[in-house]
Amino acid sequence: MQKLVLFKIFYNAASRAQIEPDYIPLDNTDGPPDWFEMWPILRYIETHDLEDDAWYGFFSPKFPAKALQTLSDVKRLIEANPAADVALFSYDWPTLISFRNAFVQGEDSHPGLISCMETFLASRGEKADLHHLIGDFETSVFSNYVVAKKAYWLEWAALARAYHDYATTGGPSLPDNAMTVHDLKPVFAMRVFVQERLACWILSKGRYRVVHPNYARDVSFDRYITGTDSPWLRQTLGMANAAKRLARRSNMPSLMVLHWLAMRAHGVVYRLRVMFKG
């Protein structure tokens, strides 16, 4: 039996009351609101000794429903993979696989994100070419929907602390602290979307044994794109992920042409589905 230590973050009495008994409440009532979940996760890791073989997860109140998972799904995946180090439960997996990587996806929604991330990494002596990095389901996740063992979380905390200090001391002139849009409204600083992708940078190095649900087989995307889900559409996206994984593992970016072909096939299946439904 794997030891699971799963937290749910709360911000006020209302969100505290919604936490299910299977989760440990994690208080963020006095945390800086402009760092969202990153701050309570970082604060916990920096003030507690993690057990070597336990699995830890730190979630917003919307998990796991936002990822179209159940707690039983989470437990089942981890129990089936005791030798793994990291388990990912990303929401909106079709978007995750449609782009070359999560940074390119972020750049599409928030221009300047890649420059912010690359400049931060350069300040740490790390060189990154995020436009060309290949990210598949083993190296990509949204919203820190991660359950992982101690080694991953210590590495994440070191990077998160460095980014927090970098952005905090950078002042208003730092692009990371400039407002960007969310749902077409200029309400969040760029750093919100950069910190969400720190996990992707860590995972891109391939140092951890990563598991994730079989999204294409088991996880519908009807909630993301209502009325369009089908096994055929999920299968073409699964092929697109397999192409990215092959290109990444073989270090042959030219194989990304297979991802392009799979996404074109996905588009054809989608149009046929719309046509025959109409």
Tens digits of pLDDT across the chain (278 residues): 789 999 999 999 999 999 999 999 999 999 998 899 999 999 999 999 999 999 999 999 889 999 999 999 999 999 999 999 999 999 899 999 999 999 999 999 999 999 999 999 999 999 999 999 999 999 999 999 999 999 999 999 999 999 999 999 999 999 999 999 876 777 789 999 999 999 999 999 999 999 999 999 998 877 666 666 788 888 999 999 999 999 999 999 999 999 999 999 988 877 766 666 64
Pairing relationship of beta strands 55-59 and 4-10 according to DSSP bridges: parallel
Q: Could you give the angle at the alpha carbon of 141 between the alpha carbons of 121 and 46, nearest 5°?
A: 60
- Sign for the CA dihedral angle at 261, 265, 270, 271 comes to positive
The DSSP 8-state label assigned to residue 188 in this structure reads E
**Secondary element (H or E) of residue 41:** helix 38-47
Q: Are 255 and 234 in contact (CB under 8 A)?
A: no
Q: Are 220 and 213 in contact (CB under 8 A)?
A: no
**Domain ranges in the chain?**
4-219, 222-278
